[in-house]
Structure 1
Amino acid sequence: MFRTALRNVLAHKARLLMTVLAVMLGVAFVSGTLVFTNTISDAFQNSSAKGFDQVDVAVVPKYQDSAGDKVGKLPDLTQDMLDKAAGVPGAASATGVVGGFTAVADKHGKLVGGNWQSRGGNYWGTKDARYPLTSGHAPHGANEVLLDAKTAQRAGYKVGDTVRLSVDGPVLTPTVAGVFTTDDGNVTAGGSLALFDTPTAQKLFDKKGTYDEIDVKAKPGTGQAALKDALDKALPTQKVKTTTGQKLAADQAKAIADSMSSMKQGLLVFAGIALFVGTFIIANTFTMLVAQRTKELALMRAVGASRRQVTRSVLIEAFVVGAVAGVAGLAAGIGIGAGLRALVGSFGASMPDGPLVISPGTVAAALAVGILITMLAAWLPGRRAARIPPVAAMNSVHAQATTKSLVLRNTIGALFTAAGAAVTVAATSMDASSGEAPMGLGAVLLIIGVFVLTPLLSRPLIAAAAPLLRAFGVSGKLARQNSVRNPRRTAATASALMIGLTLITGMTVMAGSLQSSIDKMAASAIRADYVVSMANHSPLSPDVARKIAATDGVSASSPLRNAESRIDGKTEFVTGVDGASIAELTDLKVDRGRFTVGGNDVVVDKDRAKEYGWTPGSHFTAHFEDGKAQTLTVAGIYDGNDMIRGIMLDDKVLTPHLRRPADMQVMVKTVDGASTATKDRLASALGSNPAIKIQDKKDISDDIAQMFTMMLNMVYGLLGMAVIVAVLGVINTLAMSVFERSQEIGMLRAIGLDRRSVKRMVRLESLVISLFGGVLGIGLGVFFGWAAGELLGTTMPTYELVLPWGRLALFLLLAGVVGILAAMWPARRAARLNMLTAIKAE
């Protein structure tokens, strides 16, 4: 039986090649994902470990207890603590570290590095082992700065050049005093690092005389644990905590692995979809191969082979095919992993140096996935073939599906479909957090139900295309009949395409609807012409709001100054605004009371009012970070949204309680309205700072749209794998159809049907099957897009369903193109059949 199975594998090379391709694509995606994420994770972990070479023990502030009415905040690491740390037994040196966001502009005024990876810090003393200088000298005073070598190279700076940078808003123009190298993970990932001398860094990052962290280096012969114990005895443990360098490196490695985990899971989901689609193709292929060998298998049964041996023969074939596909997929996956790393680099995000990581787990996963998926898909055709009675098989009386089995299948499909639709619809009435799981369950049940019902649905839906097919004469009529000749096989082929289009359509509908709702939210909630913020959404210096208010043409402006407070023992963020201007800059619907902010009067959103039981006129006490409390009065309650929500009070009341006032945004209204000239005037007033974004409503919407577009393009690219696998499935189905109808095609040729008409018949059959899958996929995708939108609508009042008719038509056209392309080889093969040979075929 083993030799027979191997012979059968080699006897059908072309069709088995397509099966190998289908499995290989899915395996390649899985192994490529594992290689890519393992490589990046390993490179960053090695880089972070090098970054801790100069740290044996790190001392950081400990959060104060936030119980009661105290607001949790970080205590300062003082110079006295630094001196004590340097003097403990076993300490060779102690370095005070200060850092924060620092945007560096290139010579064209554009931001260098990623928004979140643009950092600044302090250079310690004349020689700092953390950052070896390659040229220049250590910085001295506020007019000198060091740049990392990669940033200097990308931006074209050298020692002696003047560089434009910003920490929290105002533009600085120091001279490049030197260039250094670093293993800092942010820099190796494409970010930038600027270093100042310690007093300058402390002033810029508002840490005058204090530090964010103290890094202690041990003397030779002193272990990290011993040094940590000595520091714990010397320093006030109620204010600080100590961590060894080994623990920091391990924590950093775990954080990197965790951050890569979500990317890995997302990519593996798409690989799973491709493999799921490929399962249909493998099942179809083995059904075809078993159908070709029906008499052969019956003869084997007649001479003594058992049902189990016949099934095992088919599974051995599947094992061989899966093993070959697994090895080929692993090789392709290694190439994909290397290509993805190069692709990330081409987008400007350079990766740390390191080898391509091919772990034993990746090899095992590739082979296991390839073999198990193939054997699972081949099991049912093998079992079905073994159950055909030998006499019936030898007489070509193939076992057709009984009426009872069809009724059972349709009943199960109808139950799953009804249950899935009911659960999905029910989930739309829940809130977003509790409705996610039921909606996911409903989607799975509905897709399974539609898949089971697809053979039943194929006849009426394909029959609807009959009027169009009549235009093609005999070829069109034959194509319609052929496409419903074997409903189960047609359904399996259409389902492969259906799944991919369901996901693509659902994502497109959701993205378009969300974008429309955000546009409406921005238009309805904001009257301001512009919103000013930092490029990475870090806090702005209060100087920015003052400069904007003093700019010609500005009629009203207000900062949005967030601060932590304690209300009724709970931590609550409040927002300080310009009480005189905020009503003119926003357009929030007032639910109760009046929209008045000033003195002790505040406005709150409906959610906060409901949570605390407030009504207009209610009084509450807020405790601030300076330990002082203030009684505030609720003047009005408004409808909040994702852009503006929470407790708003006058910044004149809030600011005196803050140690370091900082604004998240500044809202601006101008006399002339939003225009290019007005925007340029505001940018000029802020020093043409690359770290600051000045956005009108359209810019805000475009920013969000860009994010959705990027996500959609990624999804389209990843789901393209499933579509390619579906194309292979259509080719397999048509090849099977042509094989089964060889005698029929020969007869048609003999009575006058020319080769062109034969080709047209096969192409139309392929087109009908593909469009059938496309209609099902788009219909399900629209339904899921609607359902997910209804769920999101519970937290987004401006949400409404928007159907992108143009893209939906494009998706249907894509399904048709898939059908036409997939039919090229089977149609050519059918047209080239020898008439006499085909007529004699059994």
Structure 2
Amino acid sequence: MRSVVLAGLRAHLLRLVLTGLVVVLSVGFTAATLILTDSLDAGSRRELAAGAEGVDLAVLPPPDATLSEADLDAIAGLDGVAAAAPRQEATVHTADADGRIDPFGYARVLAPPLGTSIEGDGVVLDRRSAERLGLGVGEEITVAADGSAELVALPITALADPSSDAGDDPEITASWEVVRELADPAGASRVDLRLADGAGTAAVRAALPGDLEALTGPELAQRLVDASSQREALRIPLLMLGAVSLIVAAFVIANTFRILVAQRTRELALLRTVGATRRQVLRGVLAESAAVGLAGSLAGVAAGALTALAVGSLLDASLVLTVTGTTVAWSVVIGVLMTVGSALLPARSATRVSPLAALQAVPDGADSRTAGRVRAVLGVLAMVAGALLQVAGAAAGTSGGGMGLVAVVFGAAVCFLGLLILGPTMVPPLVRMLGGIAARLSGGSRSTADLATANAVRNPRRVAATTAALLIGVTTVAGFLTVVESARDSVSVVVDGRVPADFAVRTATAEPIPDAVARAVEELPEIGSVVEDGGDVLAVDAAGGVDGDDARAAIVAATADHPELSVQSFAQRRADFEQDLNEAVNVVLAILALALVIAFIGIANTLSLSVHERTREIGLLRALGLTRRQTRIMLGVEAALMGAVAAVVGSAAGALFAWAAVSSIEELEFVVPWGLLALSGAVATVLGVLASIAPGQRAARTSPVVALAAE
């Protein structure tokens, strides 16, 4: 059978190329995610471990405590200690453009590591924040300790690269004296020691009070790495999105092998005639799928590594690509198992080919069988169970630790599984309905549209499987867009519901806003009304006909003596939120586009194989007068119908799933983005049409003489 398998691979090489490309894309995304997160994590570990270089011993206080100045003096005065560097991180508020304390703006102030020192009030600011804030050496960054109304101007003496665990907030390195004044609670989180020549760590450990913990340099490095590694925060969401592409790829691969098995009925029957057993036929088909999966997975790992290098270079120019054997092994295993698993059912159907089939004409692949009664019952039960779970989750809301949302997600998965099971029953009637509409709108090409509709539904299982690949992508995109637009629309509802005003005056301290300030703002001619909300917020409305910028400038002037009071425009807050939301949406949609690309390949693959098995039929139609243009239109309409069905069903399912998810989250209002859903549906339909171009060209080149040739 080995030679038979190799011969089969050579004979059907071109047909398997698109299947291999599907494996490359899906496995490539998985490999890129694993390699990128491994590379970023390895770089983070190296940088964090470097923070412990030169440290002979690190002394830590008991849990939930800090080291006082007396503790630091006592530790620095121990015999054998050559140098001591207190370490602490203070979280402070930054000042906004008005020079006020921003209650939503934060910065990290760090004490310098052992072996470095910063004199006076000068600080080192990270380059990324300096560029974003427009600050440079010689200028000042203004901060305030948490809960304090006193602004502190810190002169910038140097710029440095941000640390590996730096977030979006500015990172400031300052002297211990500055950090000590800003830290809350006061004191050091640890003190790093460099021992004198000849001093032993055991002796220093023994001299420490019993409630203090001492770590060697390597132990400290490991502690820092374990506490700061955040690769799962990036890896898990990406892998969850990648799972969508793997599922879509599985449907495409299964459909491809199902068609290939149907086309090779006579070949398989001849093998059975000359003595091949069912087990050998099964092994042969699975061996072909394993070969495709292995080749595609290896190419996918290579493509993933290049993608990870490109993306990682944008995130960190100094990134060193880290490709581990575990990552390669997992990526290849996932690709091979996905391919072989997807081909398992088609391979089992191949074992049922009778030797007598070798005496029959080669079938055209048509299969008029619809879903059986058991399948229909299972599909309905799954959809009902999933719908009940979603309704229960939506009713539960966020109570019980967010279990309502968990129930919604699980219910959506079960419901969608039922939808896929019912595919062979649901898709053909929808195709006929849309095909009828297309026929009525096509005018003189009605006969061509009718032919396309008949071809699309002649094999219910195949059209359902082909549509399912695109359906998964459209449903995911539609659901995501609906949730995003609901969140976007709810921003105004949530914000205005809490503070229904044009502006909010907030205090950054625990002290309430003085009554004199509230009266001064209320008496401004540019202000219409002022409502106090809880003592720490003033909800301010501009007077009728007053420009918003003028009203805000008046409020800022009235509160000039109170740097702890910030004046916020809700219009600007909403704009900032939408900008952040749009950036996240663009990233997720770019990833989900991979699933649509794989589905596009699946439709092209199905149509290409369908054209091959319908050569005689197309030749006969050409002999009866079907023109090349009509042939291309027929294939295009056929593909458009599959794309349109996926668009309609996927958009409806995605919107319903999103409704349950939004309903399970308090303070969110459900909004249907009709325009975006229509756009995603149009994209799905256009993808179907584009996928038909190459198969349509091939079909159009079919000569009418082919109809007279015997196979």
TM-score over 0.5 (shorter chain): yes
Distance 2:359 2:647 in 1: 39
One of 578, 582, 585 as aligned partner of 2:532: 585
Cα deviation for residue 79 of structure 1 reads: 2.2
2:180 equivalent to 1:185: no
Matches of 1:496 and 1:518, distance apart in 2: 34
The alpha-carbon distance between structure 1 residues 456 and 725, as it changes in their structure 2 partners (threshold 3 A), is same
1:81 aligns to 2:71 (yes or no): yes
Q: How far apart are 1:97 and its partner, in Å?
A: 3.6
Cα distance in 2 for partners of 1:386, 1:778 equals: 38
- 1:391-540 matches, within 5 Å, as 391-396=356-361, 406-432=372-398, 433-465=402-434, 466-470=436-440, 471=442, 472-527=445-500, 529-531=502-504, 540=508
Structure 1 residue 261 corresponds to structure 2 residue 232: yes
- Change beyond 3 A, Cα 1:174–1:289: closer
Equivalent residue number for residue 46 of structure 1? 46
Shift of 1:464: 1.3
Following TM superposition, by how much is the alpha carbon of 1:468 offset from its aligned partner in structure 2, in angstroms?
2.3
Cα offset for 1:528? 5.0
Asked if residue 699 in structure 1 is aligned to residue 572 in structure 2, the reply is yes
Distance 1:508 1:772 in 2: 19
After the TM superposition, which residues 67-216 of structure 1 pair with which residues of structure 2 at under 5 Å, given as runs?
A: 74=65, 77-101=67-91, 118-122=107-111, 129-130=115-116, 138-140=118-120, 142=121, 144-147=122-125, 161-168=138-145, 172-176=152-156, 178-179=157-158, 184-186=163-165, 192-205=170-183, 210-216=187-193
Q: Percent identity?
A: 31
1:488 Cα shift?
0.6
- Say whether the 8 Å CA contact 2:619–2:702 is kept in structure 1: yes
Do the aligned residues in 1 keep the contact of 2:313 with 2:319 (CA within 8 Å)? no
For structure 1, which segment, 416-425 or 42-51, has the greater mean C-alpha deviation from structure 2 after superposition?
416-425
**1:37 Cα deviation after fit:** 0.2
Aligned-partner Cα distance in 2 for 1:299–1:241 = 77
Q: 2:307 aligns with which of 313, 329, 336?
A: 336
Q: Deviations over 1:192-238 (max 9, x none)?
A: 44344444443344778x545433333345565654443234xxx3x
1:619-658 superposed matches below 5 A: none
Distance in 2, Cα, partners of 1:833 & 1:686: 81
Number of aligned residue pairs: 691
Cα contact 2:92–2:182 (8 A) shared by 1: no
The 5 A counterparts of 1:426-825 are: 426-432=392-398, 433-465=402-434, 466-470=436-440, 471=442, 472-527=445-500, 529-531=502-504, 540=508, 549=517, 553=521, 584-586=531-533, 666-667=537-538, 669=540, 672=543, 675-681=548-554, 694-792=567-665, 795-796=666-667, 799-825=668-694
1:34 maps to 2:11: no
* In structure 2, distance between residues paired with 1:119 and 1:303: 77
**Which structure is higher in helix share?**
2
Structure 1 residues 244 and 759: CA distance shift in structure 2, 3 A? same
Q: Deviations over 1:366-419 (max 9, x none)?
A: 211221111111121121112011113431376987979722322222222222
Structure 1: distance between partners of 2:44 and 2:12: 47
1:359 is aligned to 324
Contact 1:551 1:685 in 2 (8 A): no
CA contact (8 A) 1:94 1:216 kept: yes
Q: 1:691 to 1:540 in 2, by over 3 A?
A: closer
- Give 1:547 shift: 12
2:221 equivalent among 238, 249, 258: 249
Q: Match of 1:464, SS?
A: helix
TM-score of the two chains, using structure 1 as the length reference: 0.74
CA contact (8 A) 1:476 1:764 kept: yes
Aligned CA RMSD, in angstroms, stands at 3.6
3-state SS of the aligned residue for 2:603? helix
The amino acid across from 2:703 in the alignment is N
Give the 3-state SS of the residue equivalent to 1:93 in structure 2. Answer: strand
Query: What CA distance in whole angstroms lies between the structure 1 residues aligned with 2:686 and 2:492?
Result: 34
1:6 corresponds to: 6
Q: Select which of 297, 301, 318 maps to 2:268.
A: 297
Deviation at 1:271?
1.5
Q: Aligned partners of 1:540 and 1:519: how far apart in 2?
A: 23
CA distance in 2, matches of 1:548, 1:91: 56
Gaps of 5+ in 2: none
CA distance in 2, matches of 1:749, 1:484: 21
Q: How far apart are 1:266 and its partner, in Å?
A: 1.0
Structure 1 letter corresponding to 2:438: L
Give the C-alpha shift of residue 467 in structure 1.
2.9
CA shift, 1:26, in A, is 0.7
Q: Which amino acid aligns with 1:669?
A: V
What SS is found at the alignment partner of 2:344? helix
- CA positional deviation for 1:505: 1.2
Determine the C-alpha separation between the residues in 2 that align with 1:501 and 1:713. 16
Contact 1:529 1:674 in 2 (8 A): no
- After TM superposition, the score normalised by the length of structure 2 is 0.87
Q: Which amino acid aligns with 1:291?
A: A
| Distance in 1, Cα, partners of 2:467 & 2:660 | 24
The one-character-per-residue Cα deviations of 1:337-389 (angstroms, maximum 9, x if unpaired) are 11221233xxxxx46x3421000011101211221111111121121112011
| Residues 77 and 462 of structure 1, relative CA distance in 2, 3 Å threshold | same
Shift of 1:12: 2.3
Of residues 485-494 and 248-257 in structure 1, the stretch that sits farther from structure 2 once superposed is: 248-257
Given the superposition, is the C-alpha separation of residues 363 and 225 from structure 1 closer, same or farther in structure 2, using an over 3 Å criterion?
A: farther
CA offsets 1:514-571 (integer angstroms, 9 cap, x no match): 33333223222214543356xxxxx935799679939964669xxxxxxxxxxxxxxx
SS in 1 for 2:418: helix
1:218 pairs with 185, 188, 195, which one?
Answer: 195
Q: Deviations over 1:15-52 (max 9, x none)?
A: 21110110110110011001100010010111011112
Give the 3-state SS of the residue equivalent to 1:489 in structure 2. Answer: helix
Q: 1:221 to 1:315 in 2, by over 3 A?
A: farther
Provide the C-alpha distance between the structure 2 equivalents of 1:768 and 1:527, rounded to a whole number of angstroms.
Answer: 48
Task: Provide the rounded CA distance (Å) in 1 between the counterparts of 2:385 and 2:279.
Answer: 37
Q: Secondary structure at the match of 2:191?
A: strand
Identify the range of structure 1 (321-330 vs 283-292) with the bigger mean alpha-carbon deviation: 283-292
Show CA shifts across 1:781-838 (max 9, x none): 111111112222xx33xx4321111111111111111111111101111101122135
CA distance in structure 2 between the partners assigned to 1:814 and 1:31 by the alignment: 28
Q: For 2:609 and 2:35, locate their aligned partners in 1 and report how far apart those are by CA, in whole Å.
A: 36
Which residue identity does 1:12 align to in structure 2?
Answer: H
Q: Distance in 2 between matches of 1:696 and 1:447?
A: 43
Change in CA separation of 1:54 and 1:418 when aligned onto 2, cut-off 3 Å: same
Task: Please give the alpha-carbon distance, in whole angstroms, between the structure 1 residues aligned to 2:454 and 2:31.
Answer: 42
What letter corresponds to residue 569 of structure 2 in structure 1?
Answer: D
Unaligned ranges ≥5, structure 1: 65-73, 132-137, 345-349, 534-538, 557-581, 587-647, 651-664
Which stretch of the first structure deviates more once superposed, 362-371 or 700-709? 700-709
Give 2:460's aligned amino acid: P
The residue type equivalent to 1:203 in the other structure is E
